[in-house]
Structures are given as C-alpha cells and as structure tokens.
Structure 1
Amino acid sequence: MPNDPRILVISFSNIEGDARVLREISVVAKHGHVTSLGYGPKPDYVSEHIQVPDSAKSLPQTPLGVMQLALHLHNQAELAAPGNRYALRALADRTFDAIVANDARALPLAFTIARRNQAPVWSDLHEWAPGERTHIASWRILVKPLMEHICRKYLPHTAAATTVGTEIAKLYESQYGVRPRLLMNAAPYADLQPTSVAPDGIIRLVHSGGAVFGRNIEAMIEATIQAGSLFTLDLYLVPAGDGGAYLAKLREVAGGNPRIRFHDPVKPFELPATLNAYDVGVFWIPPTHTNARLTLPNKLFDFVQARLAVAIGPTVEMVNVVNDYGLGVVSEDFSVPSIVAALQSLTPQAITSYKQAAATAADPLSFESQSKVIDEILDAFLQNPPTAGSKGTIHGD
C-alpha cells in the first residue's frame, strides 16, 4: 500500500543465498514496503531490490581506500568501498522510515541514509565484527581497525541491536557499551518426524555448509574413515570463493572412499527435509579465532529441524544448546582421534533418543520463536519511532 512504512534492508551479501537475511526479510516485510540493497538478484519478500554489482566490493579495496586504511583515516574510509559508493548513488536522496543494517560494515551507509529524515537504525550483527577474518594478516592489519572504529562510532547510536549468541553479545557490551538482543540463527520450523536408525546398524552422518578452509571438514572425513565401516558421511557443500580449491582438497582427502559422498548444495529452506534422511549432523570447527570459538551456526539449527542427533566439538555456544536440550555428543577436542572416540560412543539407542530430543527442541529452537524479537523491534520503531543518533551526536576519530 502507498502509505506502508518504507523499510530499507542493507546486506553486503548475496541476499538470495543468505539464510539469516532472508529469514529476517520475511518478517520485516510484514511491517511495510521493503527495499533490499545487496549483491545478487532480487530476493523473496521484498518490494524492490537494489542490486550492487559483484565488482563493487564492500570493503575499501581500491588504492585510495587501502591508503586510508593504512594511515588509519577511518572516517574517510567508512564509505570508500565501491559498494558503498554505488549504494549512495542508487539511493540518491531517498528516505526510509526504518533501516536495517546487516553486519557492522553496513552501519556507515545506514546512518548516512538515516540522517536524511532521522530514521531509526537496527544493527543485526551476524558475528563479532572486529574478528571476522583475523586469521588473514591483511584483514587483521588493515580492516580490523576499521571495524573497531565503526563499532565504536555507530553502535552506541543504533536504536536497536541484535546478534547471534550470548557470548558475542557480552563482547559487544564489554567493548562498546551496547548489549545486543539475542537473535539466533534458527531455521524455520519444519513439520518432520525423526527417521529410524538403519536396521543394519549403519550410522549416517551428514554435514552441510560452505567448503571453507578452516572449518576442519577434512578432519570429519578422516574421522569417519577411521571410525569404521558402520559410519558414512554425506557432504552438502557450497564452493567457497577460492575457485573450488578447498573442495577439491576434500575430495583428495576422501580418496574415493565409498563411505564419503559429496552432493550438490541444497537451498536453505530445503535443507531440513533433505537432512532428515540421516542420523547425525556433525560439525567440528577449531577455535582459531573469536568467531570460530563462539560460533552458533545455521547448521546446528538445521540439524534440529531435520530431527537429527548432533555430534560437535567443545564450542561453547553450541555445547550449551546441545547440553540444554540433550541433542547429542561433544568430543573432548577437535583432533581426529577425539572425533573418532565421540562417533564410536554413539549407539542406535542413543541416536534414537537424541533424535527424539531434537523433535522436542524443534519448536523452541525455531525461527518462529526467535522472530518475535524482530516484530518487537519494528513495532517499536514504527509505532513510536526513535531517531537516528537519538542517543547523542556521532563523533569521528
């Protein structure tokens, strides 16, 4: 309708394949006319999409931008990324009634647009922004200080903030004085029943997600092979931006073993039904940086909606969920022998029990339960709107 609130959702990702942002937009769209801005084609639920060209990167990777980062000229670097420059031209003098900024890198653009009519900004922080890629030296040296600057400058002036886990929320509070509300990466409720363990005793392991170096997928493969003939592992992997190099390495590690099977990736909303055919969802990610140490990923909630047992490493946020709901086993550490020991501790009876626990947890751990936070934020914005920067003047360096 012409008088519906105008809501801008910014995400410097391919929104069509970004499960968290897609779920977010599905709820935001109930509150007004949604314009999305990001990479890739127009996603579902939006009224309008501004597609940022793939070549227009979301970080200041131009010679001028790199110089600004190196000299710590962060005020100048905030909007220097080609993606930001394109977005500013595309949005011209447009105004919105509310703005959603996905991840810290979207905040400078969000506040630039918001100031035109003092619109409130909600920051949805998908991870610990200063630690996003600190395992990469150039990112750690050049980009991390920019992310710290953006969080320090803008987060205290957001009208609302959310993030994926309690431990990351505590970090934002301790470092920037803002305690985001919890909005976990929960999948939509799937009306499924646990499948039975195979009568021949074969335990069907499954893992889905990105074929990204550092996620320890090679250890999952090696552990499955070493665990013995009763274990199979099916992998639904999305190739990373490395031209498929890591995925090719994983195939080498598997060595053609018939108990390790590679599949094409599945769309996020199709995952639970696909995974439902298996027994145990598996994920062991070493704590190589803050976000890995504190991750509470989509896949854990996909496993729950698929009514699977779960086998994971001692990752604090995941351990809390697995233990709270009795969903599965936790290995002692992230080494192959430890993973093998965890797998071999599984019995058909235990798996059946864990699957039933997942069925019980499916409702409280569903996106529908989590999405109430989105409704509350937008109701507050649109019924009694706060204003951009209402907590004080935004200062620079």
Structure 2
Amino acid sequence: MPRPRLLVISLSSIHRDARVLRQISVVREFGDVTTIGYGPAPEGVEHIQVPDDLPSLPQNLPGVLKLALRRLRSAELASPAVRWAMTALEGRTFDAVIANEARVLPLAHQVSRGAPIWVDLHEWAPEERTQVLSWRLLVAPLMDHMCRRYLPQVAASTTVGDAIAALYEQRYGVRPQLMRNTTSLQQLEPSMVPDDGRIRLVHSGGAVPGRSLETMIDAIKVLPENYTLDLYLVTAADGGKYLRTLRERAGSEPRITFHPAVSPDELPTTLNAYDVGVYWLRPTTKNGELALPNKFFDFVQARLALAIGPSIEMSSLVERFGMGVVSDGFDVDDAVLSLRELTSEKIAGFKEATDAAAPELSFERDADVARGIIRGLLSAR
C-alpha cells in the first residue's frame, strides 16, 4: 500500500514557525507530506510556496467590501493567498489535511475533497487582533463565522491551553485537545547559581509591541546592582522599530545586554547559562490574558527558575510545579517586588523543580497527542 499523502496548510512563514515545524516532524512519521504556506521549504517535505505579497486575509478591495457588507460566506475564500493556494492545489488529493489556524478552515474544506481535517488552533481565533480597530470591525466577524461554520465539521482539533479550549467549547460546542507550545525535551541540567550573589535574568522572543517588554527593562533599573538582564530578541515585522525603542529605553544601563537572536534549536542551551526566565505580559487582549507561549517552555527546557506576571495559564503551571515566583500584578513595582524575593537558595530550588517538570512539559508529550490524532484520521483509509 502506498504511503498516505498528507497536506499541511499554514499561512505563516513555515520555515521559522516553531509550532508548525514540530507538528510537521510528527506528521512525517505517517506519510508523504506536502506543505503550503509562505517562505522556503521546511526540511524533508514537498513545499508549495505562497507568494509573500499575497495577504492571508481578504484585504483587497473586493474582500474588504464583502467584510463591510457582512457577506461572510462570500469572504471565506476571498483572500489573495487562499485563492492562489486553491489554484495551486487544484486536481490534487490527500488522505488527510492539517489546517493551522481558523483562517484556513474554508480552504482546508475546499481542498480536502472529503478527506478528514485536523485543525490546530494556535490561539483564540475570534479575538486574534482585537487591539486593531479595523480587525475588530471587519475581520473578527469573519473569524467567528468560520469557527461557527467549520469547527463542528472537522475530525479533530487542538489548541494551546485549557482556558482557550474551554472558550471554543462554550462558543462553538467543540472541545479541542490540548497541544501546548512545548519545546522538545533537552538533555540539560540546571546551571550553578553564582556564589557571588548575582541574579542573572533572561528573556527571549520577538520584539513585538504589546508584549510589555518595557517592564523588565524598567524593573532592572530599580533593582539592586546584583541583578542583570540579558535579552535575546527577534526583530519583528516592523523592521526593528520597536527593538530600537527598547534599546533607547535601556540607555546606558550596563546591566542590560542585548544579544543577537539565536535559532530555536540553540535557545535552551543558550538560556541554560542564566538563572531566571522573566516575562510580565499585560493582559490587554484575551489571547494575552490566556497566553502560554513558546518562550515559557524554552525557559523550562533551559532549566531556569521563572518570574512571571499572574497570567492565567503560565502562573498555573509555575505554581503547580513550584518553578518560580508569580507577581501580584503586571506593573513594574509588582515585578520588582517579586524579584526581590529571590535568593540564591530559592533560585537553586526553583531550578531543580523545573528540571523535574521538564519531561512532562516537553513536546514528547504533545507529540503523542498528535500521533493519536493522525492515526485516527488515517484509520479509515
């Protein structure tokens, strides 16, 4: 029997989308994989590259008009990237389709030709970018419509956290399985805490406005001299504008160091040299309120102590496994107060707790969920 043909759709730059790359690593175990999305080919798959200048939402004039008039069914397949993808996949058949994010659900149903679909919902789709007025007025109704129409039709669904899964169940009657943004299990041990009293804070991730990265910079300026902060930040789509504002905010503070970004594979080993992974994400959106991002699990696999704000999903895991401190709020004063609690002895204990939790909070657990889903999709083949 020929190997199954599996289609992975993600209108992201797949070659640097860590969640989708981990997903593909499992899907490849079960068949021949074709990916369609932006950017160059991921390793080991056939790739159909969507032109970068084609937006993934109906942002052209006909599409915006459909959104404004609430002609939502007509708008489902109206985005330039989706229409291009439909043409590129014309005449091809697959044994299963994996759709990344709600925006590609209509496309997945169009090209599946009856094959089962697994949708991986990377966040709470109806409020993906509600901080942007045009998105809130025009796109949010479309996202809600697509979830309401297509989620009940998929064979399987997954999402990143329990709270977001509960939202999908409450609104659409579909409870996605849990697949967190975990990192592969790293064979690392907690690094030694300096015996000179230094506390080495670190943060990694995208330099994206809205992620409250100013908080950690402002906090370090008022903490005692034994605290340092190292930042491994990826330049965002703004061409580095926000990153430059962060550098200006840090000024000449010698205890703050900006490093070049490192690849996801190298990140846990790089972070392992530090003591405390820090993040205070102000909950200005629903997805921010319920965030459980890649960086959290990078910190875990690096065997760091954690210092975070009272974000629902992150704080739940920190407290459950005893991996660090959770501040009372998201302001600079709250962050400083929680960091002042840290001692060398406490940090060493938190690192040991993170080390113990690392196997459970690794992609190896989530990969088993993905394998079960794919087996189910292919069982009728």
TM-score range, shorter chain: over 0.9
Contact 1:327-1:355 within 8 A present in 2 as well: yes
Deviation, structure 1 residue 45? 3.6
Stretches of structure 1 that go unaligned for 5 or more consecutive residues are 386-397
- Distance in structure 2 (CA, Å) of the matches to 1:125 and 1:273: 29
Q: For 1:23-80, what per-residue CA distance to the aligned partner results, in whole angstroms no more than 9, with x for missing partners?
A: 000001001000011111101242x001111101101110111111111111111111
- Distance in structure 1 (CA, Å) of the matches to 2:157 and 2:255: 44
Q: For 1:180-204, what per-residue CA distance to the aligned partner results, in whole angstroms no more than 9, with x for missing partners?
A: 0001111000000100111221111
1:7-22 to 2 correspondence within 5 Å?
7-22=6-21
Letter in 1 for 2:57: L
The equivalent residue for 2:218 is 222
Q: For 1:68-120, what per-residue CA distance to the aligned partner results, in whole angstroms no more than 9, with x for missing partners?
A: 11111111111111110111111111110000000000111100011x2x100
The answer as to 2:27 corresponding to 1:28 is yes
Three-state SS of the structure 1 residue aligned to 2:29 is helix
Contact 1:25-1:45 within 8 A present in 2 as well: no
Which of the pair has the greater relative contact order for Cα pairs under 8 Å at 6+ separation? 1
1:1-397 to 2 correspondence within 5 Å?
3-46=2-45, 48-114=46-112, 116=113, 118-384=114-380
Deviation, structure 1 residue 257? 1.2
Contact 1:169-1:182 within 8 A present in 2 as well: yes
> Which deviates the most, 376-385 or 186-195?
376-385
Stretches of structure 2 that go unaligned for 5 or more consecutive residues are none
Deviation, structure 1 residue 152? 0.3
Contact 1:232-1:259 within 8 A present in 2 as well: yes
- Distance in structure 1 (CA, Å) of the matches to 2:126 and 2:233: 27
- Distance in structure 2 (CA, Å) of the matches to 1:80 and 1:342: 49
Three-state SS of the structure 2 residue aligned to 1:27 is helix
- Distance in structure 1 (CA, Å) of the matches to 2:292 and 2:169: 18
Deviation, structure 1 residue 340? 0.5
The number of equivalent residue pairs is 381
Contact 1:22-1:44 within 8 A present in 2 as well: no
- Distance in structure 1 (CA, Å) of the matches to 2:221 and 2:100: 39
Contact 1:36-1:49 within 8 A present in 2 as well: yes
Three-state SS of the structure 1 residue aligned to 2:284 is coil
Letter in 2 for 1:14: S
Letter in 1 for 2:349: S
Percent identity (aligned):
57
Contact 1:234-1:263 within 8 A present in 2 as well: yes
Contact 1:26-1:45 within 8 A present in 2 as well: no
Contact 1:102-1:126 within 8 A present in 2 as well: yes
Three-state SS of the structure 1 residue aligned to 2:266 is helix
The equivalent residue for 1:391 is none
**4+ runs of 1 displaced by more than 3 Å?**
none
Three-state SS of the structure 2 residue aligned to 1:50 is strand
